[in-house]
Amino acid sequence: MKQNKWSIIKTDTSEKALASASSVFTISNGYLALKGNLLENRSELYSTTILAGVFDEADMVAFIRPTKYKRRYLDPEYFDDATPSPSVANLPDPLYLRVFIGNQEISFRRAEISNFRQEYDLRSGVYAYQYECKTSDGKHTLIEMMRFCDMQNVHRVLMHYSITPINYSGQITIRSGIDGSIRSNLQKDKQFNVIQTSIEDGLCRMHARTKARGIDINLVVCNVTIGIEPATREHVIEDDSIYEVLNFDVSQGQALTIEKHMAISSSEDTRHEVESEPASEVKESVKKGFASTLATNQDWWAQVWDRIDVQIEGDDLAQLYLRFCLFHLMSAAPRHTDKLSVPCKLLTGEHYQGTTFYDTDLYIEPFYLFTFPEIARSCLNYRYLGLENGRKIAKSLGYEGAKFAWQSGPYGEEALGKWWRFTHTNIHIDGDVAYSLMQYWYATKDMQFMLDKGIDILIESSRFYVSRAVYDETSGAYDLLDVAGPDEGHCESKNNFYTNWLAKKTLLWAVKMLDMVQREHPDDYQAILKRLAVQKDESDNWQKVADRLRFYFDDSTKIYEQCEGFYQLAPIPQDLLDNRKVWFVTVFPYQALNQPDVVMAMVLFRNEFSDDVKRANWEFYKEKSMDFSSMSFVINSMMATDMGELDYSYKQFTMSAGGDVDEGLVGRFDTADGIHGTASGGAWMAAVLGFGGINMTENGLIVNPKLPKHWKSLNFKLSILGNIFDFEITSNKIDIGISEHKQLALNASIAGHMLQLVSGQRYSISL
């Protein structure tokens, strides 16, 4: 791995390693995803086929195990009314393939396996594995597989599968088609019914329909044999499956190859404006061929890598880790629609029900914003569309405006019931969305989006915060009660610093943006007032609440108390982690954090806090964070970089970037549930925004890099205000080249030097 900066390679055949690898080797193109399971391995995990935005339901209350510990994140009052929750559907498996040598099936668990190797080529998006197996009758066989998602024709998947008899000649039988017996890996329930199966024109076809939501799924598969024609070819239609049975007479050393061309569509395609007919897609795929499509894919990825690559000179392993993260982020991007965002597990698993958290807004969108800003715009448009459900959520809680769903489904619907307390205490979600919107605004100045949709997000979120705030007549301050910040271990807190800070910023952004629109776009201003029924005194009220939201700041220590009463909690016991019983129970009684909270706000708004305040809070909270969440590492890394603690910062960056490829770095061993998309996006942030020192603000670009000592250089490209900025950073200088796509004059502070950056120019600044 240290010598190969473009390939992820694994050779472990243990059950746990293969379960983890199934997430690592997921192939996806933003529309569909297939986990990287071995076709010959029948484990307890079902093959996973996901279509972005195709949801059904899962009984999430059934996951709650009895315990004597109070789980403050649950509200038992609502248990009896709980209903199944929206959850991404695990759909029929188009990869279905079984191999029989004579009458004995090749089974990964019942054969002697040698020379096993799984590999992901990040330059082409091809997942491959190969191994040799010896069955109980002594027959020795070589198995080789390659598959990938077509990145330009998002309904298509292709697979190349070869079988070579090493020490025998004889009959080999392949069953290849579509498996409709698949169940959810969450609850082992079946989320769809098979409506119809057929074979026409040599194509295996299946029509399925999700049980609760009634979404139609159509799958088509074509099996193309290469080199050796089958002696016989039969079709089998089972209750929930359809496949071809291909019988071959093969000589020793003769490779038998089959190519599978697959296509999937759904009735949701109409909403996403990507309607397609799977049979036609498959026929076109066969006509083009595996090799030609692969070459096209490689060209596509070459162009994408030219935009997204972050080149690290002097650290090959970190380079590989980071490229793995960028690859999966780009693979999950919803390029086919502007009505979906990205789940926190990307498209690599069903965990968290395939929903979108605030992780996407804060940790994943920055990567899209500075590489392909149109994808960030789509993610924001998803949030805009989610206002419809957000208004319903706010109203159901007794508040005005809109409250974004905590675990958001494809329509912005809440994917958990009120029994999950976070659905109504984690109100910082509105501020997180507003933050991502303003970052998009600073980096693009997309006025049309702001006028048509962005301002709606700010106004409806402000209305929610104002109605949620409680006025204290004694002090004249406003409080936000019963809230949870990023530190979810204290999920019933009062005046959580992070929540109040994001609420304050959201209110101020709404005031400022509405004022700017009134001055510069009066016609649009009148349309906004009418569209959102903005009252005459609303803006003044937002300003008043923003000015009076309560914070607990000690002038002598420079520390913000995370929430009211935090200092009165018990000190952290030395054996806290050793005696850990249940996740959230661990930290609640103590001055311990599930993950960074105050520090997180200071990382997001790093130019708004003085160095002495940041250092005081960093030193106070650093050791209190248990870092139970994968979003911890990027926050730790970026704050440590600002504080000049580069060894610690580098370690945290490595955990964020490499925790899925090498699970021992973090020690949670839960990658089998799906890639940690938050950590993947966080790795890019820690590298570019942290070590690269990039900070896009309302007033312009700030660049203050600090590289790890062993890094010789850091190179990356950013899209800013319609131009491509090419950065090369070493220990003693910064070189910046700017494209001429759009006329630009950008105020910037580069390593303390005040400049105006102009399109078409190059700059070299000494450090």
> Which 3 state secondary structure label does DSSP give 436?
helix
Q: Which long-range contacts (CB under 8 A, 24 or more apart) does 552-557 make?
A: 552/495, 552/497, 557/616, 557/620
> Which 3 state secondary structure label does DSSP give 370?
helix
Residue-level pLDDT at 91:
98
Task: Give 592-645 as a DSSP string.
Answer: -BSS-SHHHHHHHTGGGS-HHHHHHHHHHHGGGB---STTHHHHHHHHHHHTT-
- Give the whole-angstrom CA distance, residue 490 versus residue 406: 16
Residue-level pLDDT at 2:
43
Distances (CA, A) of 417 to 65, 210, 423, 583, 668: 17, 21, 7, 20, 27
Q: What six digits make up the tokens of 592?
A: 């311990």
Q: What six digits make up the tokens of 547?
A: 């000015």
Burial of 2 (0-12, 13-18, 19+ CB in 10 A): exposed
pLDDT digits (tens, 9 = 90+) for 130-187: 999 999 999 999 999 999 999 999 999 999 999 999 999 999 999 999 999 999 999 8
Top pLDDT among 69 and 449 is at 449
Cross-strand bridge partners of residue 217: 208, 266
Residue-level pLDDT at 43:
79
CATH 2.70.98.40 fits 7-54+89-305, yes or no: yes
pLDDT digits (tens, 9 = 90+) for 381-415: 999 999 999 999 999 999 999 999 999 999 999 99
Task: Give 302-333 as a DSSP string.
Answer: HHHHHHH-EEEET-HHHHHHHHHHHHHHHHT-
Q: Where are the alpha helices (DSSP H) in 386-454?
A: 387-397, 422-425, 428-444, 447-449
Q: What is the mean pLDDT of the chain?
A: 96
pLDDT digits (tens, 9 = 90+) for 215-256: 999 999 999 999 899 999 999 999 999 999 999 999 999 999
Kindly report the three-state secondary structure assignment for every residue of 716-767.
EEEEECCEEEEEEECCCEEEEEECCCCCCEEEEEECCEEEEEECCCEEEEEC
Residue-level pLDDT at 325:
98
Residue-level pLDDT at 42:
81
Give mean pLDDT, residues 59-87.
Answer: 89
Domain coordinates in residue numbering, the chain: 7-54+89-305, 714-766
pLDDT digits (tens, 9 = 90+) for 416-457: 999 999 999 999 999 999 999 999 999 999 999 999 999 999
- Give the whole-angstrom CA distance, residue 758 versus residue 739: 9
Residues whose CB falls within 8 Å of the CB of residue 171, separated by 6 or more in sequence, listed in order:
101, 102, 247, 248, 249, 250
Residue-level pLDDT at 202:
92
* Cβ–Cβ < 8 Å for 175, 272: no
Neighbours of 765 (CB within 10 A): 16
Phi, then psi, of 192 in degrees rounded to 5: -150, 160
Top pLDDT among 98 and 63 is at 98
pLDDT digits (tens, 9 = 90+) for 22-52: 999 999 999 999 999 999 998 778 999 999 9
* CA nearest neighbour of 159 among 27, 250, 67, 66: 27
Kindly report the three-state secondary structure assignment for every residue of 672-713.
HHCCCHHHHHHHHHHHHHHHCCEEEECCEEEECCCCCCCCCE
Read off the pLDDT band of 1 (50, 70, 90).
Answer: very low
Give mean pLDDT, residues 357-383.
Answer: 98
Neighbours of 464 (CB within 10 A): 25
Burial of 585 (0-12, 13-18, 19+ CB in 10 A): middle
Q: Is the pLDDT of residue 327 over 70?
A: yes
Tell me, what amino acid is at 65? R
Read off the pLDDT band of 580 (50, 70, 90).
Answer: low
* Cβ–Cβ < 8 Å for 288, 274: no
Give mean pLDDT, residues 523-529.
Answer: 98
∠ CA(655), CA(661), CA(662), 5° rounding? 60
* Cβ–Cβ < 8 Å for 718, 739: no
- For the entire predicted model, the pTM comes to 0.97
* Cβ–Cβ < 8 Å for 163, 246: no
Residue-level pLDDT at 227:
87
Phi, then psi, of 170 in degrees rounded to 5: 155, -160
Percent of the residues in the chain that have a pLDDT greater than 70, as a whole number: 99
Neighbours of 451 (CB within 10 A): 18
Q: Is the pLDDT of residue 585 over 90?
A: no
